[in-house]
Structure 1
């Protein structure tokens, strides 16, 4: 899959943060063969978060080896505007940056540049950030990413109290197709995400370390789809241009 579905449905994206980065292609293929829908690529600059991971040169190499998979670059960086062209050139499909990493005055230009680079716009918020900050951008973005851990490190404990943000988003903005959740998500916590209305699921160490990632991915996706169906959200299609480009 090199694009997001037009309807609301469960999609599972392993985070490569916990993977053996010296075997990134092999690890990615292993999880894709197990049924993963996309790859969540954690980019950290050591400034916005106190950790340092991969950048666009590594992603470009990964793209050469895996040409037709949806790449979601989670930009945990202090200057998100700095890397837009590089990430687009590396083959990124979705550029997800944090609202806390920039100023309100810079937001429109960053969103515009991401769209002009032919990438989808993801907007992430940290656990302590009020969900209402996304309201004025909701019609200009494609995905809202709800962090259920503090960004910067893998293997943290899932923050269940963040589910209220997801419930509020689903209820308030039914036109928003993709609500992504990232941090401590596993087969043990997926039900909370599903019931809240999340559909785009990032799972890191739980899938990387799993002895049966295919069954875990299937279980996660089925729980999401069952809950979306019960809410009649799986039939929802939007005609908004920003969700179909």
Structure 2
């Protein structure tokens, strides 16, 4: 469960996805984080499976797909065919989280589960043995560029404790407001996958990802 950095394509230049994916690869980042939004679960619309499929032609990166959509189980087959590697879904978005995660695994993808800042960790507990990744939102989902919510670190600590108690091995991912300072806090709390959007794309991408790596080693 080594540390992984996942630049968020949501903060990239949408007109040049192929070039942006190549730039991400050059940084040595392990993942590219892809947010899929339907305008219902969150008040924003982003990408669908067809865009993921078009990106897949230009990259061998791990596609870490975070679905902010109602009834995410509807998109499992399309995302699997599009070339997604990890499909992470919200407990708040489906009445059948256990079955939805099983469906993701059956389709050949890694399965992730995510909670919003206002959702208790208890909502995750029944499915922790099913998942490859737990994502703790460190901002409210839907838009990039938001400030990190410090109280979400308690959730990271709780999930890390549950992982140890149950002798499980899933990754713990954080998403929202991650920079060279908050990444240290998230790592200390138990996270090992770090999504960064506006922070890495606002300047030189290589330099910003390198700065995050340096912070992880401080």
- Shorter-chain TM-score tier: over 0.9
Residue segments in structure 1 that go unaligned for 5+ positions in a row: 1-7, 228-245
Give the distance between the partners of 1:187 and 1:32, measured in 2 at CA: 20
3-state SS, counterpart of residue 173 of structure 1: helix
Q: How many residues align?
A: 215
Residue segments in structure 2 that go unaligned for 5+ positions in a row: none
In structure 2, which of residues 136, 139, 146 is the aligned counterpart of residue 146 of structure 1? 136
Q: How well do the aligned residues superpose, as a CA RMSD in angstroms?
A: 1.4
3-state SS, counterpart of residue 157 of structure 1: coil
Are the counterparts in 1 of residues 101 and 112 from structure 2 also a CA contact under 8 Å?
no
Greater fraction of residues in helix: 2
TM-score where L is the length of structure 2: 0.94
3-state SS, counterpart of residue 108 of structure 2: coil
**Does 1:82 pair with 2:74?**
yes
Partner residue, 2:212: 220
**Does 1:122 pair with 2:115?**
no
Residues 73-119 of structure 1, C-alpha deviations (whole Å, 9 max, x = no match) = 1100012011000000000000001000011xx12221111011000
Q: Which has the higher contact order (CA 8 A, sep 6+)?
A: 1
What is the CA-CA distance between 1:168 and the residue it aligns to? Answer: 1.4
Partner residue, 1:186: 179
Give the distance between the partners of 1:79 and 1:89, measured in 2 at CA: 18
Aligned positions of 1:99-114 closer than 5 A: 99-103=91-95, 106-114=96-104
Give the distance between the partners of 1:172 and 1:222, measured in 2 at CA: 28
Partner residue, 1:58: 51
TM-score where L is the length of structure 1: 0.84
